[in-house]
Amino acid sequence: MVDYIGLPKAEVHIHVEGCFEADDVIRNCGEAGIPLRAPRDRLFEAHDLKSFLEMLDWLCGTFRTREQLATTAYKFAQRMGRSGVRYADVIVNPTHWPHWHGNIPGMIDAFDAGFAAAEQDGHPPVGLCVSLLRTQSAAEAIELVELLSEIRHPRVVALSIDGNEAAAGRTGPRFAEAFRRAAAAGLRRTVHAGESSGPEGVRDAIELLGADRIDHGVRAIEEPDLVDLLARRQIPLGICPISNVALGVYPSLVEHPIDALRKAGVPVSINTDDPTLLDTTLEASYAACAEAFAWDSETIRQLAATSVRASYADPAVKAQILADLDAWQT
């Protein structure tokens, strides 16, 4: 029996908006007099990517105080620790949080307080990837990058972009300048692509946005030359197989291309995307994939190593996790 919780690993594609606990959301609603969007057992219900993003907007709208954000950050780190994660890069998209639109620095500070308190209590360190939404304008994107460059908060490790690719259309050209400025400011760049768009989204992420990690990226499998490019440049994909099946990108896990991409030499890692909303955990995702693709313990070790190398953790943190991984026994 493989101990997936004990496996030293990183989580590099996960959204703080997808990790809320129902009790916290209900408490927020009670404090602010907000009617619940649905009964408790259907609070996190969504049927497709569009309704999923609408649900996120509503959930985030219930978080109105610094304490609520700090508590959410602390509980996120706790969640990572329970899954055996040693480091996490977490995505936060300010556009989902209406009460923080005019105070992004305060929002970052509140999350930072929760993450710092959690780390002091022995929970894993967390880096924050601040995300654009695909429907934003080029000017709005540049404004966010300029803000991040100005405050230079040590918790912020990367610029991200997420949202519904299919609904927004091609967005690489629109955000190229913002990502160029992010690179100049020393921010890493991670891009959602190749989920609701095809391989062209992945190519734009590489060629126009200079992505050093791609979130999802799975539909690159449809273009062999693109797979070769990813393998040649060793651009890692932060893949979320359970999410891809739940949201209809692939009909089943056995039809998911993560193993084909891995065998083609593309660096792939297993992640959860929105674990609470999808009712999964990282260890469950590893176990489901291992069963679907008959992975042995050495393959699992390699996947965990990729997650660590693809993360934006400090080099010393990476080195320690990889050393522990070398010593890991199933």
The reported pLDDT for the residue numbered 215 is: 97
Residue carrying structure tokens 């907000």: 34
Element (H, E) at 189: strand 188-193
29 neighbors 36 (Cβ within 8 angstroms): yes
Two structure tokens written together for 173: 């050209």
Task: Answer whether residue 98 shows pLDDT above 90.
Answer: yes
Q: How far apart are alpha carbons 99 and 62 in whole angstroms?
A: 9
pLDDT tens digits for range 289-312: 999 999 999 999 999 999 999 999
The reported pLDDT for the residue numbered 46 is: 81
The reported pLDDT for the residue numbered 255 is: 97
92 neighbors 129 (Cβ within 8 angstroms): yes
5 neighbors 81 (Cβ within 8 angstroms): no
Q: How far apart are alpha carbons 201 and 127 in whole angstroms?
A: 25
Q: How far apart are alpha carbons 119 and 227 in whole angstroms?
A: 37
| Alpha carbon separation from 267 to 19, 213, 224, 299 (Å, rounded) | 26, 10, 15, 12
The angle formed by the CA atoms of residues 66, 71 and 73, to the nearest 5 degrees, is 95
The reported pLDDT for the residue numbered 318 is: 98
The reported pLDDT for the residue numbered 182 is: 98
The angle formed by the CA atoms of residues 178, 55 and 201, to the nearest 5 degrees, is 35
In the predicted model, what is the mean pLDDT of residues 78-98?
A: 97
The reported pLDDT for the residue numbered 97 is: 96
Span of 52-61, 151-160, 278-287 with lowest mean pLDDT: 52-61
For residue 216, the one-letter residue type is H
* Paired residues of 161 in beta bridges: 132, 191
In the predicted model, what is the mean pLDDT of residues 78-95?
A: 97
Task: Answer whether residue 329 shows pLDDT above 90.
Answer: no
* Paired residues of 193 in beta bridges: 216
Tell me the pLDDT of the chain averaged across its residues: 95
For 227, phi then psi, to 5°, come to: -60, -45
Give the sign of the dihedral formed by CA 190, CA 196, CA 202, CA 204.
Answer: negative
pLDDT band at 53 (very low <50, low <70, confident <90, very high): confident
Q: How far apart are alpha carbons 60 and 38 in whole angstroms?
A: 15
Classify the phi-psi angles of 84: left when phi > 0, otherwise alpha if psi is within -120 to 50, otherwise beta: left
Pick the most confident of 38-47, 50-59, 240-249, 260-269. Answer: 260-269
Pairing of the two strands 237-239 and 126-133 = unpaired
Q: How many residues does the chain have?
A: 330
Two structure tokens written together for 305: 């190593």
Q: How far apart are alpha carbons 300 and 281 in whole angstroms?
A: 16
The reported pLDDT for the residue numbered 78 is: 97
Element (H, E) at 191: strand 188-193
One CATH from 3.30.429.10, 3.10.20.600, 3.30.1360.120, 3.20.20.140 for 9-326: 3.20.20.140
The reported pLDDT for the residue numbered 205 is: 97
Largest Cα separation within the chain, whole Å, is 54
The reported pLDDT for the residue numbered 5 is: 96
In the predicted model, what is the mean pLDDT of residues 183-204?
A: 95
* Paired residues of 128 in beta bridges: 90, 156
pTM: 0.95
Percentage of residues in the chain with pLDDT exceeding 90? Answer: 88
Instruction: Classify residue 101 by burial, with Cβ atoms within 10 Å: 0-12, 13-18, 19+.
Output: exposed
Task: Answer whether residue 119 shows pLDDT above 80.
Answer: yes
Task: Answer whether residue 330 shows pLDDT above 90.
Answer: no
pLDDT tens digits for range 146-181: 999 999 999 999 999 998 887 788 889 999 999 999
The reported pLDDT for the residue numbered 293 is: 98
What residues does each domain of the chain span?
Answer: 9-326
